[in-house]
Amino acid sequence: MIAERAGPSFAASIPTIGGFALFRCRPTIGRVDTSLRTTLRERGLRMTPQRQLVLHAVHEPGHATPEQLCTQVQTTAPAVNITTIYRTLDLLESLGLVRHTHLGHGAPTYSEQEHQHVHLVCHVCGEVAEAPTDLMAGPAERLRAESGFALDAGHVALSGTCRNCQENSTP
């Protein structure tokens, strides 16, 4: 848990609402929180502690499944269940704050909207590597020219065999 790693003085300084710890935000997250709070209010919704906890969990580095996010959120708020996580992720995605990607079989992974790259998934060992989205510039141009299709390269997962598995499989 973040508070445990930071020490007791940090843990004592975390404000709570309804028993849920609210972490101090990085400046960008603070702006998102304010924007999200306004957007939710305009739609007749509230910024609940659960929504704020899920938003903060998604901002952690890397990709996480809803189950992983639920585990992370439950370290602070044990009563939050997986249904709340899924509903919050759907809401955050509809607002353009997070995006999901299918990295193969199983649950989608979620990351920040700005966290865009092509995913390279090894179907032998399961490793997920990242490549810049401009790697897909050629195929994207061809798709647009030939079929009028606009590729979302940040939502792409390519399957194949990683270098390590290729080197280990040679006779």
Q: 116-169 — its CATH code?
A: 3.30.1490.190
Q: Give the pLDDT confidence of 133-145 residue by residue, as tens digits.
A: 888 999 999 999 9
pLDDT at 12 (0 to 100): 44
Max distance between CA atoms of the chain, in angstroms, equals: 63
Q: Where in the chain is the domain with CATH 3.30.1490.190?
A: 116-169
For 27-76, the pLDDT digits (tens) are 344 445 677 788 888 888 888 888 889 988 888 766 789 999 999 999 99
Is the full-model pTM beyond 0.75? no
Average pLDDT, the chain: 78
CATH domain 2-111 topology: Arc Repressor Mutant, subunit A (1.10.10)
pLDDT of residue 26: 37
Residue 3 has pLDDT above 50, yes or no: no
pLDDT digits (tens, 9 = 90+) for 149-162: 999 887 788 899 99
Per-residue pLDDT at 82: 95
CATH 1.10.10.10 residue spans of the chain: 2-111
Given a cut of 80, whether residue 108 has pLDDT beyond it is yes
